[in-house]
Amino acid sequence: MTAINVLKLADSVHVLSDGRAGDGFAHSLVPKAMPIPHLNAVVATRGPARLLGLMTLMLCTKSIAFDDLRGELGQLKWICEQQSEPWQIETLAAGFDVVVAGIGSKGPAAYLISNHGLHGLKPWHVFDIPYCLATPVVDQGLLEAVCWADDPLAEFPRLVDAQRAEPSVGGFAQLTSITAEGISTKLVRDYRDAVQVVLR
């Protein structure tokens, strides 16, 4: 499953995701985070590859500012239940996580919501990410070394380096950064030439 990592700083919030879609040897490369420039936000998803576009559309439909996205997350279960196309129903039936990060009226913010209880949270509970989030989970020592470093943003890509132990994580590491001035995104790691051996 996808790597999604969040780092919330005093004046910015950053989402670091991988680019591998699919398990084992059959895979493709896709972004897992989508900038939403008019809301100064980003949506990132873990789940089926087509979830990202669908989730972004569903969350943006009624939002005119980043703060509106928080309200939409609170209604996400109902919003998902309103989808009627067969491909939408199939996509939303899979287990998924959604991260929304951006700059709101109170500064940087990031939220996680899941339709399952695998993270110790109730399904559909909107979790306010306090500072740092790593999914899939990494060693606690590494997480602390990265998040509490003098320059945590410079150390941030180490999380995806470690998460590549999961066969479904890889391809590249994409950093999406949001400040009051706007959104930037770039590759900070390129694993496309690396050979990944997957044992089944």
The pLDDT of residue 120 is 86
Cα dihedral sign, 186-188-189-193: positive
The pLDDT of residue 198 is 43
The pLDDT of residue 10 is 97
Domain boundaries, the chain: 4-190
Tell me the mean pLDDT per 10 residues along the chain, length 200.
94 97 72 95 94 93 91 91 92 94 97 92 95 96 97 98 94 97 97 58
Q: What is the largest CA-CA distance in the chain?
A: 49
The pLDDT of residue 199 is 37
Q: Which CATH number fits domain 4-190: 3.10.300.10, 3.60.20.10, 3.90.1150.10, 3.40.50.300?
A: 3.60.20.10
Cα 156 to Cα 31, 61, 174, 181, 198, distances in angstroms: 18, 32, 11, 21, 25
CB 177 within 8 A of CB 12: yes
CB 160 within 8 A of CB 5: yes
The pLDDT of residue 123 is 95
